[in-house]
Amino acid sequence: MRTSKRNLNACMPNQSPDIILLVLDTQRADRLGCYGYEAPTSPALDRLAAESTRFSQAIAAAQWTIPSHASMFTGVYPATHQMMQSYSVLPAEMPTLAERLRDGGYFTAAFCNNPLVGVINNGFRRGFYSFLNYSGLLTSRPNQAGVPANFVDRYRSWFKRQLASALEQTQDVFARNDTLLALSFTPLLVPLWQTALSFKGNTAKSLADAAELHIQRRGADREQPVFSFINLMGTHMPYHPPRRFIEKFAPHVLKDRQAQRYLRQFNADVYGWLAPLADPLNAAHKATLDGMYDAEVAAQDEQVGLFLERLRASGRLDNTLLIVCADHGEHLGEKRLLGHTNAIYNELAQVPLIVRDRTGAFPAANVCNDVISTRRLFHTVLAAAGCATPAEATLSLALGREVDASPVFAEAVPPQNVINLLMQRQPELVRARGCDRPTRAVWNNEYKLLVKGSGDAADICELYHVLNDPRETLNLSDILPEQVEWLQDQLTAYNNNVAPVLTPDRADNFDDPLVYERLRDLGYIE
């Protein structure tokens, strides 16, 4: 497959670097060594951070995949792009990062393990010449142009299509039969589906394919720069890390039958990933989740390290702008919460962000302590590629706070289908914890204000010191009312000044049984 040369000179590709946006889905910043974690979960990322600029106060624009990715892909906050639901579609009038880079001369490719990004027809695939989805039993190519070059490849492609069709028909039978559907989501069968159909994708293969593209340049013109978006799901629930990582980070799980029983129950209880906890998580269960999460972090870090070593050995890494970040974090019992449904506490909002280049724009062994939003990755990438407008270039993270000292915002609008499910089962608990309300937060470099509600007297306000209280244990709202009032004014101005481009449509394949099955198994729908 060859790309069009129509726009190859738009961003001066001979001078433009390769760009890799590597999103570690559900990766907490505080579980990485370079962010101060004591357990050795991340030697590869720690080495990368020593060669890069690390942002200690990077804030995700939203608490879950769709709105957070939409902000990274468009450069605007969720209130503008309005990608709030699993079935939302990005407005056609809003160009994506991949579209801008493609039109500027880049070969654009995606290697995605999250069905919310790679399976749903929500607009995230726009602008990619090649889009490989690894979520499910077989790698699929929803955007792939061209046909296999030889008989063997054509036969393999035909066989995969037939197998995928058979699997889809089987799942369709389950989806349309209430008895079979209920059976498929029992604690006995959920782990089987999760394992057999690889709902977390294939980390090793997706990274190997991405490295192959950057090194071999197949599909790209000789002098054409490459942009790769990679999404990895290694740290997302459910937790099934390789045994050797369990031995290192959660050895008690291999010996303690009660811990094993709890882990099996947790991995199979999709509802439990969404609902607030009525009581604090006990110490034994907390230790199990912490250890298994750390094991997943370490297993993924090892694969990322192999990917980086391939790029280093080929010499490609030194001509690449590499951005490693997360779309959001994860609650593991803190504040009586699990997962990432509806909150903007630091466990979800504060994410890792590491940027490596060799131009001097992001110096090695540098730490930026300013509060910044991951939405600015859009502007950062465009500026590095030479494709940004003057206004966009001022928001590049390479320019620092002297240009943009605006407050940073984040939004948590809970998916409606999740709220419906929670209200059916535990309405009083959900209301008491404010989990049925939208949550918004605003940061300056010293304080963070979190507001649950829609702007009325019943709003729940919490104020925390950004640096002195990263775990958000002391609510300062009653002690510093002036600071609360000032930040509330910033939120009001934000709400008044941002406006949606258009109300997003509903994805045309959201109700497809295969898509529905994948999303439900990951806890994104009821």
Tens digit of pLDDT at every position of the chain (526 positions): 344 444 544 554 457 999 999 999 999 999 999 999 999 999 999 999 999 999 999 999 999 999 999 999 999 999 999 998 878 899 989 999 999 999 999 999 999 998 888 877 889 999 999 999 887 655 565 554 333 445 555 555 555 555 544 544 454 344 334 455 445 445 555 555 455 455 788 999 999 999 999 999 998 988 899 999 999 999 999 999 999 999 999 999 999 999 999 999 999 888 888 888 999 999 999 999 999 999 999 999 999 999 999 999 999 999 999 999 999 999 999 999 999 987 899 999 999 999 999 888 999 999 999 999 999 999 999 999 999 999 999 999 997 544 456 899 999 988 777 788 788 888 888 888 888 888 999 999 899 999 988 766 558 899 999 999 999 999 999 999 999 999 999 999 988 887 665 555 655 555 566 555 655 665 555 5
Exposure class string for 347-385: b at 16+ Cβ within 10 A, else e: bbbbbbbbbbbeeebbeeeeebeebbbbbbbbbbbbbbb
Query: Measuring CA to CA, how many Å separate 215 from each of 85, 102, 131, 219, 312?
Result: 37, 19, 18, 12, 10
Q: Give residue 446's pLDDT.
A: 93
φ/ψ region of 452 (left if φ > 0, alpha if ψ in -120 to 50, else beta) reads beta
Instruction: Please give the distance of CA 420 from its chain centroid, rounded to a whole number.
Output: 24
Q: Among candidates 330, 308, 304, 305, which has minimal Cα distance to 320?
A: 308
Is 69 part of any domain? yes
Query: Under a CB-based contact definition with an 8 Å cutoff, are residues 329 and 26 in contact?
Result: yes
Is 474 part of any domain? no
Q: Give residue 152's pLDDT.
A: 52
Q: Give residue 177's pLDDT.
A: 42
d(CA 365, CA 47) in angstroms, rounded, equals: 10
Phi, psi of 443 (to 5 degrees): -120, 140
d(CA 391, CA 180) in angstroms, rounded, equals: 55
d(CA 490, CA 409) in angstroms, rounded, equals: 9
- Strand ranges (DSSP E) for 316-459? 320-325, 331-332, 338-339, 350-351, 353-356, 366-373, 408-412, 439-443, 447-452
Q: Give residue 168's pLDDT.
A: 40
User: Does residue 95 have a cis peptide bond before it, meaning omega lies within 30 degrees of 0?
Assistant: no
By the 10 Å C-beta count (0-12 exposed, 13-18 middle, 19+ buried), 427 is classed as exposed
Q: Among candidates 129, 149, 152, 150, which has minimal Cα distance to 141?
A: 129
Is 436 part of any domain? no
Is 219 part of any domain? yes
Q: What is the DSSP letter of 138?
A: S
Is 8 part of any domain? no
Phi, psi of 376 (to 5 degrees): -75, -5
Is 422 part of any domain? no
d(CA 41, CA 36) in angstroms, rounded, equals: 11
SS3 of residue 24 by DSSP: strand
d(CA 193, CA 203) in angstroms, rounded, equals: 18
d(CA 254, CA 301) in angstroms, rounded, equals: 22
d(CA 101, CA 127) in angstroms, rounded, equals: 8
Q: Give residue 138's pLDDT.
A: 55
Strands 18-24 and 53-59: unpaired
312-317 contacts, C-beta under 8 A, 24 or more apart: 314/214, 314/215, 316/18, 316/214, 316/215, 317/356
Strands 107-112 and 130-133: parallel
Q: What angle do CA 466, 469, 474 make, to 5 degrees?
A: 115
φ/ψ region of 400 (left if φ > 0, alpha if ψ in -120 to 50, else beta) reads left
- For 424, other C-beta atoms within 10 Å of its C-beta total 10
The domain in which residue 147 lies consists of 17-405+500-521
Q: Give residue 508's pLDDT.
A: 58
Q: Give residue 207's pLDDT.
A: 98
SS3 of residue 299 by DSSP: helix
Q: Could you identify the residue written with the tokens 């192959």?
A: 212
Residue 174 corresponds to which tokens in the numbers above? 């389950």
Is 139 part of any domain? yes
Query: Under a CB-based contact definition with an 8 Å cutoff, are residues 55 and 368 in contact?
Result: yes
Q: Among candidates 127, 125, 126, 123, which has minimal Cα distance to 107?
A: 127
Is 305 part of any domain? yes
Quote the pTM value.
0.85
Q: Give residue 513's pLDDT.
A: 64
- Tally of structural domains, the chain: 1
Q: Give residue 178's pLDDT.
A: 43
Q: CB-hemisphere CA count at 13 Å for 182?
A: 3
Domain of residue 320, CATH code: 3.40.720.10
Strands 320-325 and 18-24: parallel
d(CA 452, CA 472) in angstroms, rounded, equals: 16
- For 508, other C-beta atoms within 10 Å of its C-beta total 12
Q: Among candidates 55, 113, 65, which has minimal Cα distance to 230?
A: 113
Residue count of the chain: 526
